[in-house]
Amino acid sequence: MSSAFLGFPTPPPRAPYATGHLRGDQSFPEAAHTALDDTQQRRNLGKATATIRGKRDQVADELPDWEELRSAGSALKADVLARLPELLERFEREVTERGGVVHWARDADEANEIVTRLVADKDSDEVLKVKSMATQEIGLNEHLGSAGISPVETDLAELIVQLGADRPSHILVPAIHRNRAEIRDIFLREMPGVDPNLDDDPVRLAEEARKYLRSKFMSTRVAISGANFGVADTGTLSVVESEGNGRMCLTMPETLITVMGIEKLVPSFTDLEVFLQLLPRSSTGERMNPYTSMWTGVTEGDGPEEFHLVLLDNGRSATLADGVGREALQCIRCSACLNVCPVYERTGGKAYGSTYPGPIGAVLTPQLAGMHESRDDPNASLPYASSLCGACYDVCPVKIDIPSLLVELRHQHVEQSRYTAEAAMMRASSLAMSSAKRFTKAQRASRLGRVLGGADGRISALPPPLNAWTSARDLPAPPKRTFREWWDSEDGREAVRAARREAERGES
Amino acid sequence: MRVALFATCLGDTLFPEAVKATAVLLTRLGQEVVFPPGQTCCGQMHVNTGYQADALPLVRNYTADFADESIDAVVAPSGSCVGSIRHQHEIVAERYGDRSLRERVERAGAKTYELSEFLVDVLGVTDVGARFPHRVTYHPTCHSLRMLRVGDKPLRLLEQVREIDLVELPRAEECCGFGGTFALKNSETSTAMLSDKMRAVTTTGAEFCSAGDSSCLMHIGGGLSRLRTGTGTVHLAEILASTEQRFRSEEEVSA
Amino acid sequence: MNARDVVLGRVRDALAAAPPEPVTVPREYRGGRESSGEQRLELLVDRLGEYRADVYRCSVAETASTVAEALGDARLVAVPGGLDASWTEEFTGRVEVDSAESPVRWLEDVDGVVTSSAVTCAETGTVFLDAAGDQGRRALTLVPDLHVCVVDLSSVVLGVPEAVGRLDPVRPTTMISGPSATSDIELDRVEGVHGPRTLRVVVRVDG
């Protein structure tokens, strides 16, 4: 148990183990093994992440106050977390006063039930969906499906994923792992009324999606969205998008249901001036995304007549209870960290097994849903799915120190784990290196490794677990003398004396 | 200045040439170099793998030697070990240590430098009088770059080296895939990253890939060696310590 | 206990377990900037161009002729009830006034729409609509394929903070930066998915 819970009787519960999409069915290395062999996906991801990295760098660099915006964004989200109870109550009051109905959901199961009941009350067997991480997280589509309600994803990428019976692989562009030829095949196979002569031109593909969805926008009576921001002091909600499917869903149906994580607040309306600069530049690499919608409750004669807001916990309060790990709740889901991550670029998002992939997913998922060591939980492998290179921290618009959080979660995981062979090795090496006397003894023992080296001093095969190294890399055989032996030898002393003479010559 | 050398466990045991080079270079630049013999390891591997409790004796051992007031500065030829000392020791001390350990951690951390930082920021030199007549490409390493923010200091040092043919590494700032125990726990992803790094290195046509960290070089070099690419690795310190007579030859002759 | 009290209780407990430091938000980013009309115009035109929105510059006196030009060969045009009727005087097609009572479906038969705007941000090329009488309900600027939006230079501000400061949070607000677009297929930008495929901005330089 982490020391953060000392003196704390019952820590808030994590998200339910089996509901929603916060856990894969394989550990990260197992899932990565498959992903690394997918040549098509490797190529698609390499191209896409390089493109978007370039665009982000350009539009972030052009703002002379980018760092000041990051500092403000980071502090604003930290402030939200520090004052979350009062801000949530204020937000609830404002939404209610403007005609919205606020529901609270302890977890994914409860949120799914609330939304399904609201849809069923409208006698709707089809609902429109705006791309939303929260509803993906709780597995809302599956739950609606089991109640006989068809959810229709309206974001192009989500539609590609849904029609392809696939899983999203990126926060912003969920079908990033697919290329145009694959998308054409999916449309031809799955889209009702598609033009049989469809080619793979992105313009034609987008046109087909427009045609297919337009009639649904005109006739469907209920839509479900997520929220990018909820403004505590005004009750305003905001959805940031590109295609106009969001505007359609937020405007056309009679009933709108928004599912929002409790951490997505910003303190005041003015604070949007910070996030509306940080988010688009960090996520799509644009100065501004094509469309942003903001609404407060309901407005007569404009948009839905009924507005329901579902505030979701699902492990967020458990994350908040960790004074270190809570920083992950500052995330505004821009996905910049995915695009710069060398691990993500090669494995893709599905290897993380969660709605939240990449570096932020590796710290957020285990906190929301736990790392249940006793169940051999795949989530326990996520904090290790990083080389700690730090590229994610540099681009994060709200300055989440992801590498430090990964290190913290590794610590927590080790604390929760049973005593393993690895732990024994770590303990032994710690003991061996806790004094120079023991260390030099170990160094002498390691020199026995010289016999493993061939005539050229290369070690090419080692026993487990070090065979994971020698599967692809040589290791030099240990040298004849350690540094400290050389330092204490006559050659070492002579080398230093010679260097000192050079220094003196240089001075004179 | 009285400069204590921190050899690092890897440097002391497996890659002594980089440490020797650091000792000779600093001495040649007029520093009084000492090697506190009680030193062992910074504990980075333990912290980064989640074993902070096991890192505690190592943090304690580091400060026992290096917090001492007789030492003006500590220099290590490793960006990642210095990163761990400056950024992670306080986490361990905060969690497991007492006040006196926290104080020693702060004192030792504040005067610990990576080699290029010490040369450029503290000694104020970029031309260390080196000569290295080879084609070299430089990998900046993640912890030097993003934890220590050494920036272009290593390159400024290399640019002054006589007869060096310094070629730019494509996608230089991307991780080589080492990441400590990451290379074992996620060895296939690590290898995928390594293969791209190796491709970048070999396209430069360099004889040597250089870096300021023996651990990254062990990784890149291990891959280059396995594939018999004909490209070697050399630590930044070894280049900077090379003069008319190749530094390495001293050891070869005496051994 | 109901879910509301449970969740709020958990959040309070979580903060009690590890009390956070009070936060002071640094506001050193740029805001409240003054700028010349020329500067804003140049920046806005540049940014709109990058989004592939068409830009028309005119004077207030030239509004009707410019709007007619921007409407091109549209035949049926919808306008919000509060729009200055003189703006569409030179348009030769049919002009219908939209109202909250008309079913949204009628907008599917409309070729284009003309509206005013609330505020515009030059640095990002973003037009803000706030559903005022001269901008209409949100569906009006969403369903038809062509949106002609009239922007007075006096309502153009330099950056995002300056624009947000002019908004009324209670009004349903739509921020528009160029036509509808997607980059979901290999990150190739395609214009016109669900919203208007064509955005034409008429900037009245003396307005």
The beta-strand segments (E) located in chain B are 2-5, 32-34, 73-76, 112-114, 135-138, 165-167, 208-211, 232-235
3-state class (DSSP) for residue B172: coil
Which residues pair with residue A307 across a beta bridge?
A256
Where do the DSSP E strands lie in A130-241?
A: 150-153, 222-225, 229-231, 236-241
Q: Which of B15, B12, B79, B70 is nearest to B39 (CA)?
A: B12
For C185, the closest of A89, A205, A242 (CB atoms) is A205
| β partners of residue B193 | none
Cα–Cα distance, A388 to A403 (Å, whole number): 5
A328-344 residue pLDDT tens: 999 999 999 999 999 99
Residue C7 pLDDT grade (very low, low, confident, very high; cuts 50, 70, 90)? very high
* Amino acid B245: pLDDT: 59
Q: Which of C204, C121, C28, C166 is nearest to A289 (CA)?
A: C121
For the ranges A61-70, A358-367, B23-32, B246-255, the lowest mean pLDDT is seen at B246-255
Question: Which residue in A has a C-alpha nearest to residue B171's C-alpha?
Answer: A50
Which of A423, A483, A507 faces B16 most closely, judged by CB atoms?
Answer: A483
B229 touches chain A (CB under 8 A): no
Between A346, A390, A481, which is nearest B142 by CB?
A390
Q: Closest by alpha carbon to B218, among B207, B209, B228?
A: B209
The total number of residues written for chain C in this structure: 207
- Mean predicted confidence (pLDDT) in A55-61: 97
**pLDDT tens sequence across A283-330:** 999 999 999 999 999 999 999 999 999 999 999 999 999 999 999 999
Residue B168 has pLDDT above 60, yes or no: yes
* Tokens linked to A145: 């499906």
Which one of C2, C29, C162 makes the best mutation probe of the A interface by having the most chain A beta carbons within 10 Å?
Answer: C29
Question: What percent of chain C has pLDDT above 90?
Answer: 89
Residue A366 has pLDDT above 90, yes or no: yes
Where do we find the tokens 């490794």? A449
Q: Is the overall model pTM greater than 0.85, yes or no?
A: yes
**Alpha carbon separation from A145 to A150, A218, A275, B19, C58 (Å, rounded):** 6, 22, 35, 64, 54
Q: Is residue B20 classed as helix, strand or coil in its secondary structure?
A: helix
For residues A127-142, average pLDDT? 97
Q: What is the mean pLDDT of chain C?
A: 96
Instruction: List, for residues C130-158, the tens digit of each pLDDT value.
Output: 999 999 999 999 999 999 999 999 999 99
DSSP structural state of residue B77 = S
Residues A103, A307: Cα–Cα separation, whole Å: 11
CA-to-CA distance for B181 and C189, rounded, in angstroms?
A: 40
Q: What tokens appear for C189 in the block?
A: 């930008």
Cβ atoms of residues B49 and B180 within 8 Å: yes
Q: If we measure between CA atoms, which residue out of A336, A337, A382 comes closest to residue A32?
A: A382
Strands A291-296 and C173-176: antiparallel
In degrees, to the nearest 5, what angle opens at C-alpha A322 toward C-alphas A320 and A324?
Answer: 110
A contact test, residue of C25, C108, C147, C194 with most A CBs within 10 A: C194
Q: In the predicted model, what is the mean pLDDT of chain A?
A: 95
- Work out the end-to-end distance of chain B between its first and last CA atoms, rounded to an integer number of angstroms: 31
**Of A258, A263, A330, residue with least CA distance to A294:** A258
CA angle, C61 as apex, C56 and C67 as ends, to 5°?
Answer: 40
Asked if C1 has any chain A CB less than 8 Å from its own CB, the reply is: no
Helix axes A84-97, C3-17, angle to 10 degrees: 150
State how far residue C175 is from chain A, nearest Cα, in angstroms.
5
DSSP string computed for A431-495: HHHSSHHHHHHHHHHHGGGGGGS-TTSEE----TTTHHHHTT--EEPPPSS-HHHHHTSHHHHHH
Q: 3-class secondary structure for A298-309? A: CECCECCCEEEE
CB contact under 8 A, A291 and C195: yes
| Chain A partners within 8 Å of C100 (Cβ) | 300-302
Nearest to B45 by CA among A211, A388, A482: A388
Q: Return the half-sphere exposure (C-beta side, CA atoms, 13 A cut-off) of residue A125.
A: 1
Q: Kindly identify which residue of chain B lies nearest to residue A456, measuring between CA atoms.
A: B225
Check: CB of residue B10 under 8 Å from CB of residue A486. no
Rounded CA-CA distance C206/C191 in Å is: 31
Question: What residues form DSSP beta bridges with B32?
Answer: B2
One-letter amino acid for residue C153 of the chain: L
What was the pLDDT predicted at C1?
Answer: 84
